[in-house]
Chains A and B, each alone.
Chain A
Amino acid sequence: MKVKGGMTVSKPQQESHSIRADRFVGLLDENRKILYKVAGAYAQDSSDRQDLVQEMVVQLWRSFNRYDAGARFSTWMYRIALNVAISWFRAETRHARTFVPAGEAILEVAAAPAESKELEDGLRVLWQAIDGLDALDRALVVLYFDGRSHEAIADVLGISSTNVGTKINRIKTRLRRDLSHPA
Chain B
Amino acid sequence: MELDDIKQRLEHLDGKLDATLRLNRSVLDSRVLDKVDRALRRLGWVLGLELALGVATVLLTGSFVADHVRQLRFLVPGLVLHIFVIAQIGMLVRHAVATRQIDFGAPIVEIQRRIETLRVSMIRTTMWTLLLAPLLWPPLLIVALKGFLGIDAYVVLGAPYLAANLALGLAVIAIGLLVSRLFADRLSGSPIVRHLMRDLAGTNLAAAQGFLASLSRFETDDPGAS
Seen from chain A, the residues whose Cβ lies within 8 Å of a Cβ on chain B are: 17, 21, 24-25, 28-29, 32-33, 36, 54, 57-59, 61-63, 66-67, 76, 79-80, 82-84, 86-87, 90, 92-93, 98-101, 104-111, 115-116, 118-119, 122, 125-126, 129, 133-134, 136-137, 139, 141, 144-147, 155-159, 163, 166-168, 170-172, 174-176, 179
- Inter-subunit contact A83/B29 (CB<8 Å): no
Of the residues A32, A106, A126, A134, contact of B214 by C-beta under 8 Å? A134
**If A54-B32, A83-B112 touch, does A108 touch B3 (CB 8 Å cutoff)?**
no
Binds A, one of B19-27, B50-58, B131-139: B19-27
DSSP majority for the A interface? helix
- Inter-subunit contact B13/A119 (CB<8 Å): yes
- Inter-subunit contact B23/A137 (CB<8 Å): no
Q: Could you show 22 A-B contacts with beta carbons less than 8 Å apart?
A: A25-B28, A36-B17, A59-B104, A62-B36, A79-B104, A86-B108, A87-B115, A93-B191, A100-B32, A107-B21, A109-B20, A110-B20, A111-B19, A116-B20, A134-B226, A136-B225, A145-B7, A158-B106, A163-B221, A170-B223, A175-B2, A176-B3
- Inter-subunit contact B24/A157 (CB<8 Å): no
Give CA–CA (A80, B177) in the complex, Å: 37
DSSP majority for the B interface? helix
| B residues near A170, Cβ cutoff 8 Å | 223, 226
Give CA–CA (A136, B107) in the complex, Å: 12
Asked if B67 is an interface residue, CB under 8 A from chain A, the answer is no
- Inter-subunit contact B104/A118 (CB<8 Å): no
| B residues near A174, Cβ cutoff 8 Å | 226
- Inter-subunit contact A24/B33 (CB<8 Å): yes
Give CA–CA (A173, B226) in the complex, Å: 11
Q: In this complex, which of B3, B35, B204 has the most chain A Cβ atoms within 10 angstroms of its Cβ?
A: B3
